């Protein structure tokens, strides 16, 4: 492409680069106002306990309905939020919103034993994060054990002592800790062993073609075995087909999440989903 541009390469690239920089700045400016404009929303994806056949957990996933730019997916704006530090405020909003929602559902008698919330590395390492978690739990009245924080492996590669300190403070509060997208990062297994982690979430890239692809199958089987031997729970994400679910079930993976089971739902639809699943289970048991 560069060759075809002839003598104007430099100009082409600088124009292109400033376009991208402008777009980014524009996004950043709108993102700065997203909370006060009430443009952020959480959707919730159900997680299945495969053995029990029960849905008892949800993962909160952020959505941004930007008036100016249209709807944006997290992958389009979370990286900008992280680079600009806006993730600290957005993350606090997410945590509060998810805890409020979980508390309300449980008070209404909806069967929900876990609410998982994604936490970015910057938010996790931000001073006073455990205190913030504690404050929000107290404020909302949600039992700490119901809240699960999903961290990525990029959190664990930071200075070991600092990471361990924060993780331990969070465990003292009583929340659960999960590693998201497990298998795609570079966290060493020896480190993983020394951290108080409750659950591994197998990255969805390994679900691809799992019955035919011997590499993916081997990786998934290894993660399940590793979780078991380290006394951690394990959940597969990105489950889209019956074949994937039956593979996981055969290999004794205990939990699953993915479009096959349910896409992320707006908050108004969760109670109905969880109650319907619950009552059909009760009927099946009778």
Q: Closest CB to ligand C2E among 85 and 109?
A: 85
Q: Closest CB to ligand C2E among 263 and 272?
A: 263
Q: Which stretch binds ligand C2E (CB under 6 A): 18-26, 190-198, 210-218, 234-242?
A: 234-242
Query: Is there binding between residue 75 and ligand C2E (CB under 6 A)?
Result: yes
Choose the contact partner of 255 out of Mg ion, ligand C2E, none; CB within 5 to 8 A by kind. Answer: none
Give the number of residues in contact with ligand C2E, rule: CB under 6 A.
22
Query: Is there binding between residue 45 and ligand C2E (CB under 6 A)?
Result: yes
3-state SS of the chain? CCCCCHHHHHHHHHHHHHHHHHHHHHHHHHHHHHCCCCCEEEEEEEEEECCCCEEEEEEEEEEEEECCCEEECHHHHHHHHHHHCCHHHHHHHHHHHHHHHHHHHHHCCCCCCEEEEECCHHHHHCCCHHHHHHHHHHHHCCCHHHEEEEEEHHHHCCCHHHHHHHHHHHHHHCCEEEEEEECCCCCCHHHHHHCCCCEEEECHHHHCCCCCCHHHHHHHHHHHHHHHHCCCEEEECCCCCHHHHHHHHHCCCCEECCCCCCCCEEHHHHHHHHHHHHHHHHHHHC
Choose the contact partner of 133 out of Mg ion, ligand C2E, none; CB within 5 to 8 A by kind. Answer: none
Q: Which stretch binds ligand C2E (CB under 6 A): 71-79, 136-144, 210-218, 267-275?
A: 71-79
* Binding mask of the shown chain, residues 243 to 262, with x at each position contacting ligand C2E by CB under 6 A: ---------------xx---
Query: Is there binding between residue 150 and Mg ion (CB under 5 A)?
Result: yes
Q: Closest CB to ligand C2E among 39 and 180?
A: 180
Binding stretches for Mg ion (CB under 5 A)? 118, 150, 180-181, 237
């Amino acid at each position: 492409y560069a060759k075809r541009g002839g003598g104007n390469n430099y100009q082409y690239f600088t124009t292109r680069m400033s376009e991208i920089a402008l777009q980014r700045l524009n996004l950043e400016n709108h993102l700065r106002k997203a909370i006060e404009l009430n443009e952020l929303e959480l959707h919730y994806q159900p997680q299945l306990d495969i053995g029990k056949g029960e849905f008892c957990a949800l993962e909160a996933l952020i959505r941004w309905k930007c008036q100016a730019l249209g709807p944006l997916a997290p992958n389009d704006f979370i990286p900008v939020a992280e680079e600009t530090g806006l993730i600290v405020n957005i993350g606090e909003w997410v945590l509060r919103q998810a805890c409020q929602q979980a508390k309300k559902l449980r008070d209404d008698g909806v069967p929900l034993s876990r609410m998982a919330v994604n936490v970015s590395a910057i938010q996790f390492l931000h001073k006073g994060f455990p205190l913030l978690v504690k404050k929000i739990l107290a404020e909302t009245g949600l039992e700490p054990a119901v809240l699960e924080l999903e961290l990525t492996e990029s959190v664990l590669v930071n200075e070991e002592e600092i990471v361990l300190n924060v993780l331990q403070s969070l465990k003292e509060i009583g929340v659960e800790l999960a590693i998201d997208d497990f298998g795609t990062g570079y966290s060493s297994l020896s480190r993983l062993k020394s951290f108080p982690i409750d659950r591994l979430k197998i990255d969805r890239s390994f679900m691809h073609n799992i019955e035919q692809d011997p590499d993916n199958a081997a990786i998934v089987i290894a993660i399940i075995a590793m979780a078991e031997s380290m006394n951690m729970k394990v959940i597969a994400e990105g489950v889209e087909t019956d074949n994937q679910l039956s593979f996981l079930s055969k290999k004794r993976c205990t939990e699953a999440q993915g479009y096959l089971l349910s896409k992320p739902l707006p908050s108004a639809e969760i109670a109905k989903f969880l109650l319907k699943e619950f009552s059909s289970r009760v009927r099946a048991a009778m």
